[in-house]
Every structure is written in structure tokens, then in C-alpha cells.
Chains A and B, each alone.
Chain A
Amino acid sequence: MNNGSGALFFAPLKKMPAQGVAVTLLLLAAVLALFNGSMSLPFQALLSGSSDGQSFAIEQAVLWHIRLPRVVLAILVGGSLAYAGAAIQGLFRNPLAEPGLIGVASGSALAVGLYIVFLDGVLSGYWALYGLNLFAFAGGCIASFLVLKVVRHWAAGSVTVLLLVGLAFNAITMSGNGLLTFISDDQQLRTMTFWTMGSLGRSEWGSVVASATLMIPALFWLRRYGVALNLMQLGERETEYSGFDVRRIQRNVIVASAVLVGAAVAAAGIIGFVGLIVPHLVRLVWGANHRTLLPLSFLLGGALLVFADTGARTLISPAELPVGVVTSLLGGPFFLWLLISQFRKNRL
């Protein structure tokens, strides 16, 4: 019997406790990220506190105020994107669904475009620091709220309609962004382009706390819908007959996902791939039970983004790559390999 290398690799993995594997991966990624960066840090001296009379003020600041918040934010952002992705895929019963379908990312992009073209440089103080993040979050939430409103008031409310309304909204916001591109100057254009490639370079404790206060409640709220999402796989009517309020599930899953993705986009710009692929990866290895799929997606999404961001920070230091480019570059081939090895195993 010819087992693909993937099957050989994943067979033992499946027998291990899934959560343990995911937590280990996340911790490994976090440690790797903390110990690597463009600045080499004297960890022994920093952690033991014995400085031998030397002052490590800059090194201390880099570790505690630059690198650590960045790793924490990467876990939150990557985790939230994958978590929302898993929930949305479950809700739509469509493996190609991703958080972008409910309008969050494109709504954020439009709001950020408006901010960059009309308000960047006009505002000062805290508004200048966090204005862009606020706009991104508000834009994402407003767009998905509108999508939901249109579907519930003027359309039947089925997921297919939801998908189409989402597509229409994406088209509208994209043309809005096209207009902004037209009237923007060179620098505004470049700022917008960089934003759409995603970066965790803007992390500091302030944005970590802001993101966490939005994300953590949404994560726990969404977790309560694990069983309902499992039932949804059988069909909307079947879920209804089992005593669940489908419209309520739909609304709450979308609102929670919009908060998660909106906060992630606000903190780090648009990072593709994580929300779409990580849930698939978890399903391929550990199955499609949403009660475990959701938390596992969070852990692995976080691990992937931390790992990718470490690459983004170190590959061309002292400059850095847009992290969105690295996530797809790392994750794409890995996912392809996983897919092929699964096909091979099933055929034999």
C-alpha cells in the first residue's frame, strides 16, 4: 500500500489530542517570533535582570513594547480571522465562503480609502493615531449590517440570497474605492495599496487592548453556536425542526463574525488566506465538528499569522514585507500539498 507522505505525517497527528497539538504549535510560533527580529536581543541578560552594569534600555523597549505586543496582536488577528472564517463557512454550508462575503473587508477598505484621501494629515493627536483603525472597524461593521438588513427586510433571508447581496455590496464598495483611486494623489494611492496588503507594523499595547476588548467577547459569543452550526450542515429547515431559530443564528453569527473581522482588519489591514484556508486545514485533519473546529481554527490561525509575521519582519530586515504576501506564500503551497496527499489517500 502506498501511503502519501501526507497521510503518513497526519495519521499520528490525528490520534494526538487536537487541542494539544494546536496549542503546542501556537506556543512554538510565539517563542520563535519573540526570539527573532531585526534586532538581536541579549535574552539572558534581559530575562535574568543581571545587566553587568550595561544598560539595555532600547533592547528592553524593543522586547516589551514592540515585539511582544506584535506577537499578541498577530495571535488575536490570525485567530479571529480563522475563527470567523470557520463560522461563516459553516453558516453558508459553502467551503468557498470567507468573511469577505458579508462585506466586512470591502466595507473597511472603502472607509479606509475615504480616511486616507480626505482625513489623513487633517486630524491630529489620538485621532491621527487611531483614526484609520476606527474607520476600518466602523466601515466593516456598517457594510455587513447593511447586507444583513437588506437580506432580512427585502429578501427571503436564505443564505443564497445573503451571498448574492454580499456580492452586490462588494461590487458597490469596490467601485467607490475605484473612484477614490481616481481622485487620490500618488502618496495616498501608495498608502492605500500598502494597507490592502496588510501589516502588523502598527501594533502597540494600545491597539492590542482595543482589539482584545472587541474580539474576546465576540469569540465567546460565537462559540455558543457550535452545535447550531453543526445542525446547519443538514440544512436550514432541519435546523429549524430541531428547535433552533435559524434567523437568529444567522444574525448572531454574522454580527459576531463582522466584529471579529472588522477588528482584525482595523488592526492590521487586509490579510487574506487565513480566514479561508485555516478552517479547511483543520477540517481535513480533525473533522468538521464545529465545537472543536472553531477553537482549533483560532489556535492555528494565530500560529500561522505569528509564523508568517516573523518571516515578514526578518526576511529583508531592517525593512519588512507586507504580511499578507507572506501568509499566502507560506500557506498556499502547504495547503496544496495537504490537499494532494488527502486525494491520494482516498483513492487508494
Chain B
Amino acid sequence: MRQLSFPSLLIGLLTMAGQAFADCPGRVVSIGGDITEIVYALEQEHCLVATDTTSVYPAKTDELPKVGYLRALSVEGIASLKPDLVIASDNAGPATIWPQLQTAGIPVVRVTAQTSLSAVEQKIEQVAAAFGISQRGEQLANSFRKRLQSTDAVPGRNTMPDSPQVLFILGHGGGTPMVAGEDTSAATIIQLAGGRNAFSGFSGYKPMTAEAVVQANPDIIVVTSQGQKQLGGVTGVLNLPGIKLTEAGKNRRVLDYDALLLLGFGLRTPSVLAQIKADFQESAEGE
């Protein structure tokens, strides 16, 4: 006991104060950016000993060790951190590591990997239950629901005949940029914000062809901030083949949002949704 110095005692006391509301289930490894975000929102980050490379928000996650990419995890890497609990997205893998972690006596909790508004609440519930703070989870889910309601975004209700046609362009890395069809996170968020996705009739992201873009004639173009940067800013987006011939191109209506924020379907979705809605309206008034 005498070896304990005053500063370390102080730090110890402060840490205990931080844990006053709920005790940790032990050393926790959180795998999946959406899950890590919820852990921070539940203020349980002091329990975390590591995350994965998809956990980039909040920025403080950088300080924690990374156990690799979500779908290419190393079982010994995780075990070496001696976790008492691993919370992992259903997307995480390879599948063989789960029985291996079980053999090593490390409990694992899997959380749904769906990307939709209702799945966010489910994720909150599952993460909170894993930490044994279901009540706190309920509060967070409630506040999420309230924020969502305040944006007035209800699936299927927002699209009006005069809704703007919105084209989403995914332009990561080299090669042909991709446009969003049906059943994509981009199309869902566009519809929630009161726009109409420029393309229907195919699902997923498909390479962009100039003629199809001209025919779809979008009023607004949405890109990710990262994609816009790689394409060379707004000018780069406008210079993509066919874009200049569209309404959006003629009026230089290009909106950009952070990729994770726009397509991630997480706790911050309500705020970005409100932002997109406002931007759509502003574009409409600009006519």
C-alpha cells in the first residue's frame, strides 16, 4: 500500500467517480463503428480496452488499440487484451473466431448489423443490456426517438409529387463513380429527408453512365465529403460526364455530407437528417 503514490491514488479516485453510475462488466472490446458510438453515448467508454478499425467516431476512439478490420479479426489479438466481454456487430468475422473465443472462455455479445432507423434503437437496447444498464439504454433510445420525431421524418410519408429528384454519387477511390439505386442507405436517407431517389428499377450501387444520368435529370446531387474531395471538389463533381446537362448541374446544386454520418444509420442520423431536409428546402427555394 505504501508504494501507492498520491497522484495514482487521485487518478484512482477520479476513475471511481467516473464509474459511480454503473460498474463495468469488466474489460470490454467493442467491434463495429456503430456499436462503439453507442458505447460512448452510454458513457461506458472507460470500460473499453480496444475497438476495431471501423470505430472512428468519436475521435477519442483513436486512443484505444485497434484489433483490426471488422471482417478480418485476429482471435489471438483479441484474447491478448484479456477482455471480459466482446461486443461485436453481426457483420464481424471471420465466423471461426466466435467458437474460438468461446473456447478461451471470453463471453461474446452479438449486435444486429441492419442499417435502418428501427435497427438503431435495437442496437442501443442490445449494447445497454450487455453493459447491464438497460434503463440507461431506454433513456438513450427515447431521446433518439424524440430527436427523430422532431425532424418529422417518417418512412414513406415524405415523398410528394413536387419532391426534388436527388442523385447520390459514391465516388470512393479510382474508377467509375457509382450511383445509388433502390435498397441503399443513400436512397433511404434521401427519401426520409423528403427527396426522391433519381434512380429506381435496380438495387444497390451501380457504375454511373452519362446518358442514364442525363435522362434521370436530378435536381440535386448528393455526394460524400470524402468522395467529393477525391473527385476534386464541387467542380470535379460537375465535370463528371453528363452532369452539366442536368438541372442540378446547371444550377451547381451539389451537397456533401460526411460518409459515415450520411450512410451510417447511427445515433447522429436525426441531426444529419434535419440538415439534409433544410438543405433540400433551401435548394427548392433557390429556384
Contact = CB atoms under 8 A, between A and B. Distances in A.
A191 B74 contact: no
A66 B100 CA distance: 7
B91 to A, nearest CB: 7
Nearest to B66: A319
Contact of A65 (B71, B104, B204): B104
A313 B76 contact: yes
Interface in A286-328: 313, 317-320, 322
A38 B76 contact: yes
Interface in B57-76: 65-69, 71-76
A37 interface: yes
B95 A66 contact: no
B82 interface: yes
A39 interface: yes
Q: Which of B75, B99, B205 counts the most chain A CB atoms within 10 A?
A: B75
A286 B77 CA distance: 39
B97 interface: yes
What is the size category of the interface that chain A forms with chain B?
A: 20 to 34
A318 B50 contact: yes
Interface in A12-66: 37-40, 57-58, 61-62, 65-66
Q: Which of B50, B76, B77, B96 counts the most chain A CB atoms within 10 A?
A: B76
A38 B204 contact: no
Given A129-B95, A187-B91, A319-B69, A65 B100 contact: yes
B-side binding surface: helix, strand, loop or mixed? loop
Interface string A178-196: 0000010111001100100
A319 B74 contact: yes
Given A58-B105, A61-B105, A66 B67 contact: no
Nearest to B77: A318
Contacts of A201: 72-75, 94, 96-97
B41 interface: no
A180 B80 CA distance: 37
A66 B75 contact: yes
B77 A38 contact: yes
A38 B65 CA distance: 12
A204 B99 contact: yes
A65 B103 contact: yes
Given A185-B204, A201-B97, A318-B65, A58 B79 contact: yes
Contact of A190 (B71, B81, B97): B71
Contact of A37 (B76, B93, B94, B205): B76
A172 interface: no
B76 A66 contact: yes
Contacts of B79: 38-39, 58, 61-62, 66
B106 interface: yes
B103 A318 contact: no
Contacts of A65: 100, 103-104
B104 A61 contact: yes
Nearest to B105: A57
A319 B68 CA distance: 4
B226 interface: no
A265 to B, nearest CB: 15
A201 B105 CA distance: 18
B158 interface: no
Nearest to A184: B204
Contacts of A319: 53, 66-69, 73-74, 77
A283 interface: no
Interface string B182-226: 000000000000000000000011000000000000000000000
A93 interface: no
Nearest to B98: A129
A67 interface: yes
A8 interface: no
B88 interface: no
A70 B280 CA distance: 54
B86 interface: no
B67 A129 contact: no
A183 B206 CA distance: 8
A133 B205 CA distance: 29
A183 B205 CA distance: 9
Contact of A320 (B77, B100, B204): B77
Contacts of A199: 72, 94
A187 B263 CA distance: 14
B95 to A, nearest CB: 6
A313 B74 contact: yes
Interface in B89-134: 91, 93-97, 99-100, 103-106
Contacts of B105: 57-58, 61
Nearest to A128: B95
A204 B96 contact: yes
A202 B96 contact: yes
B148 interface: no
Given A66-B75, A318-B68, 15 more contacts: A38-B74, A61-B103, A66-B79, A67-B76, A129-B96, A201-B96, A203-B96, A204-B103, A207-B96, A317-B77, A317-B80, A318-B50, A318-B67, A319-B66, A319-B77
Interface of B: 50, 53, 65-69, 71-82, 91, 93-97, 99-100, 103-106, 204-205
Interface of A: 37-40, 57-58, 61-62, 65-67, 128-129, 183, 185-187, 190-191, 194, 199, 201-204, 207, 313, 317-320, 322
Q: Which 10 A-B pairs have the closest CB atoms?
A: A319-B68, A318-B77, A39-B80, A61-B104, A38-B80, A320-B74, A202-B96, A38-B77, A65-B103, A318-B67
7 contacts: A39-B80, A61-B104, A61-B105, A185-B205, A201-B94, A318-B50, A318-B77
